[in-house]
């Protein structure tokens, strides 16, 4: 089973959790590879830092073109960065790259850009890509003031678009978050999907360590009865 990782916002730890998922599944003996369909804010070497991290956490060596079909220099919303580059993001190209990766690995972890409804082109957003790929969603909640509204709106939008929320991760991004446990408990009561783990605030988080905090058995599909 492969998964699409989205977040309640940008800078909430999607890459960290995606890499942790890769490490976690690899530790279970799986062939794993990460994918970042669209990256904006690429450095001079044209390789986005998120892509480098995903590739380093994978045990299947795939080409940069497969892992990251679209990479743009401006640190802007994907559709705007694409417009600046004079191209249009084609979901079919992304699906083709995903299929190539899926043929090589047991688990493909696809990290989205920004949040659920970030536009990718003039007519489609990230939720359309999730639907095209046919992947269940893992939601990374950046735990900070305002996260309850952001998380619950995202969960509602996932359901409204017929997507499957496989689980969510509480990633604490505010070291001084007030009533932390109570906020996470409020989300647990309202999100009808398993909490895969709580990641405490860390100045320099390590995906290998974070992998140990995730309960991946909650993602394992139920085997059909014989």
The residues annotated as belonging to the active site are 36
Residue 176 CB contacts under 8 Å (≥ 6 apart), including other chains: none
**How many residues would you count in the chain?**
226
CA distances from 3 to 139, 155, 180, 226 (A): 10, 16, 27, 26
* β-strand pairing of 3-7 with 107-115: parallel
d(CA 48, CA 39): 7
Query: Which residues fall within 8 angstroms of residue 212, CB to CB, at 6 or more apart?
Result: none
The CA-based diameter of the chain, rounded to the nearest angstrom, is 55
Paired residues of 32 in beta bridges? 107
**Residues in CB range of 78: below 8 A, 6 or more apart:** 38, 40, 70, 72, 89, 113, 114, 118, 119, 120
């Amino acid at each position: 089973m492969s998964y699409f990782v989205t977040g309640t916002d940008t800078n909430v730890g999607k890459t960290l959790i995606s890499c942790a998922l890769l490490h976690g599944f690899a530790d279970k003996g799986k062939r794993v590879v990460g994918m970042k369909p669209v990256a904006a804010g690429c450095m001079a070497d044209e390789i986005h830092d998120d892509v480098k991290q995903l590739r380093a956490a994978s045990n299947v060596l795939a080409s940069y073109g497969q892992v990251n079909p679209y990479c743009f220099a401006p640190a802007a919303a994907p559709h705007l960065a694409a417009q600046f580059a004079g191209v249009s993001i084609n979901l079919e190209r992304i699906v083709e790259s995903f299929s190539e990766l899926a043929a090589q690995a047991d688990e493909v972890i696809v990290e989205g850009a920004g949040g659920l409804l970030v536009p990718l082109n003039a007519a489609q957003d990230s939720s359309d890509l999730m639907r095209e790929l046919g992947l269940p969603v893992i939601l990374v909640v950046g735990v900070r003031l305002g996260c309850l509204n952001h998380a619950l709106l995202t969960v509602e939008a996932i359901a409204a678009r017929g997507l499957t929320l496989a689980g969510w991760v509480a990633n604490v991004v505010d070291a001084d978050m007030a009533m932390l446990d109570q906020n996470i408990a409020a989300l647990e009561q309202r999100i009808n999907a398993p909490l895969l783990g709580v990641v405490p605030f860390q100045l320099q988080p390590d995906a290998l360590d974070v992998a140990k905090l995730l309960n991946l058995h909650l993602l394992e599909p139920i085997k059909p009865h014989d």
